[in-house]
Chains A and B, each alone.
Chain A
Amino acid sequence: MSAHELFLYCPATLPFVPVVRGAVHALIAEECDTAALYQLELAVSEVLTNVIKHAYKERNDGMMEIRVVRDATQVTFESRDTGGAFEERAPSLPASDALQEGGYGLFLATQAVDTLSYRRDLSGRNYWTITKRLTAS
């Protein structure tokens, strides 16, 4: 494992979402301006919250595997879980005057990073991948 690579294997429960955000922050902070760092942490938070709440339906017995790789130009974040499949649909922004409480998560994630992708393999594992270019602080 290189110095710019991080692996985590942790319970898919809400207390671990800030733990993963913190790990990403620690790995990236020196190489990134604060706005871009926030955007990356935001996307990570949205993806993992989605895994916990929807893939595992907050069962609290699931696990998630996290891999974060940082090179000179970009960060790649990958998560893997064995929860239910994600129902893919294009994220859309609820009307601001509707005061809808939900539905912003994946829209925010897609707006905050360069790429956000999902796939499910034949073994029933879900993979979320985020990439974000690093911008110097």
Chain B
Amino acid sequence: MEVAARLEGNIAIVTLAGQLDALTAPEARQVFHEYGTGGYHAVIDLENVTFIDSSGLASLISGLKTYRAHGCEFMLASIQPNVMQVFALTMLDRAFHIAPDVSSAIASLPGAVEEQKA
């Protein structure tokens, strides 16, 4: 799985690509936590994540708890329709803030810097 992170003002945008399962979840968890104590909000771009199972969910829950413990948001964006099944089945679509895309996630964050479009 590919992981990339960039900072835009007080927001850490983490882009994942590939499959988020027991093999790749530890790497994702590490990236989530990298900015979790620095006062950043997080937007996790899942547009190119084709598969998430319970191990992948666990890493996202871990991120959510870390950011919220520091008073920050941890948002998910661009979840693929089939992947959304996992959130719906576990009712975790009620626990996470889920945005249709990264731009709207950023726009909804308190004091956010608007993403500059090329």
The answer to whether A and B belong to the same complex is: yes
Query: Which residues in A have some Cβ–Cβ distance to B below 8 Å?
Result: 14-15, 17-18, 21, 34-35, 38-39, 41-42, 45-46, 49, 52-53, 93-94, 96-97, 99-102, 104-105, 107-108, 111-112
Interchain CB contact under 8 A, B21 and A18: yes
Question: B9-17, B31-39, B60-68, B98-106: which one contacts chain A?
Answer: B60-68
Residue of A nearest to B65 (CB): A99
Residue-wise, chain B 58-77 has the 8 Å CB interface mask toward A (1 for contact) of 10011011000000000000
List 6 A-B pairs, minimum CB-CB distance, nearest first: A105-B54, A104-B54, A38-B82, A14-B23, A96-B91, A101-B58
Whole-angstrom CA separation of A74 from B60 in the bound complex: 33
Residues of A within 8 A of B95 (CB): 96-97, 99
Residue-wise, chain B 40-64 has the 8 Å CB interface mask toward A (1 for contact) of 0000000000010111011001101
Whole-angstrom CA separation of A38 from B83 in the bound complex: 8
- Chain B interface size range: 20 to 34
Interchain CB contact under 8 A, B55 and A18: no
Distance in angstroms from A61 CB to nearest chain B CB is: 18
Does any Cβ of A come within 8 Å of B108's Cβ?
A: no
Distance in angstroms from A109 CB to nearest chain B CB is: 9
Does any Cβ of A come within 8 Å of B94's Cβ?
A: yes
- Determine which residue in A39, A45, A97, A100 has the highest number of CB atoms from chain B within 10 A of its CB, and name it: A45
Name B's interface SS.
helix
Query: Which of B21, B54, B64 interacts with A99 by CB under 8 Å?
Result: B64
A sample of 17 more A-B contacts (CB under 8 A), given A35-B81, A102-B58, is A17-B21, A18-B23, A39-B85, A42-B86, A53-B22, A93-B90, A93-B91, A94-B90, A96-B90, A96-B94, A99-B64, A101-B62, A104-B54, A105-B54, A105-B55, A108-B90, A112-B85
Whole-angstrom CA separation of A53 from B81 in the bound complex: 29
Given the interface pairs A34-B82, A38-B82, the reply to whether A45 lies near B21 with Cβ below 8 Å is yes
Residues of A within 8 A of B22 (CB): 14, 17, 45, 49, 52-53
Residues of A within 8 A of B82 (CB): 34-35, 38
